């Protein structure tokens, strides 16, 4: 235990002693009532902590998602300010961040593996300039790509050899659509 941990433990101990001292003084002679109050507040605190811990999972069920019609696909802006588009590729759903500043479609290694691409057989002969510097890339073809009512038999993509949190959907693909940003929605139509 380092000095910071010891300081935090000491602070929490003093805080607990102060609350316990107040409880003993307040409920002297009524210990049963004090324990019931303490347990009720403890359950409320545990409930709040559980709700906070589950908020990330709950939020995805409550927030708006990609909406598709016969002529358009509407993508809501995420809390982080980006637009995330879900494509179906060879029967598998994969979420991309729309990146109008990127030229191509770039897959993270994890997403490429999820699509069944053998990472060991890739040849990283290409290079891309990214915000994190120069990275090596391997060209691949993605078959049977669907976005809502729109279908492409095959599109080109690159697998990034470097670390990526997720895959990017660049202008090679987005350029196939008329793109409109209206309020907090990106609207794609062909």
Cβ-proximal residues to 78 (8 Å cutoff; 6+ apart), any chain: 84
CATH architecture of 67-189: Beta Barrel (2.40)
pTM of the model: 0.67
| CB-based burial, 163-187: b 16+ in 10 Å, e otherwise | ebebbbbbbbbbeebeeeeeeeebb
Domain positions in the chain = 3-62, 67-189
For residues 68 and 93, give the distance between their C-alpha atoms in angstroms, rounded to a whole number.
15
Banded pLDDT at 61 (limits 50, 70, 90): low
Segment (H or E) for 116: none
pLDDT tens per residue across span 131-182? 778 889 999 999 999 999 999 999 999 999 888 889 999 999 999 999 999 9
Strands 105-107 and 150-160, sheet pairing: parallel
């Amino acid at each position: 235990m380092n000095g910071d941990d010891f300081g935090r433990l000491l602070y929490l101990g003093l805080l607990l002693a102060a609350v316990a001292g107040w409880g003993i003084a307040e409920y002297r002679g009524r210990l049963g009532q004090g324990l019931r109050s303490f347990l009720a507040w403890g359950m409320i605190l545990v409930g709040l902590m559980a709700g906070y811990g589950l908020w990330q999972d709950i939020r995805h069920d409550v927030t708006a998602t990609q909406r598709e019609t016969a002529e358009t696909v509407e993508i809501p802006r995420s809390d982080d300010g980006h637009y995330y588009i879900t494509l179906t590729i060879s029967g598998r759903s994969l979420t991309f961040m729309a990146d109008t500043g990127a030229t191509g479609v770039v897959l993270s290694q994890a997403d490429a593996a999820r699509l069944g691409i053998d990472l060991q057989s890739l040849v990283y002969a290409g290079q891309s300039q990214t915000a994190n510097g120069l990275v090596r890339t391997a060209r691949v073809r993605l078959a049977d790509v669907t976005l809502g009512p729109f279908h492409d038999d095959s599109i080109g993509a690159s697998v990034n050899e470097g670390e990526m949190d997720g895959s990017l959907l660049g202008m090679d693909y987005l350029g196939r659509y008329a793109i409109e940003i209206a309020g907090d929605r990106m609207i794609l139509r062909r």
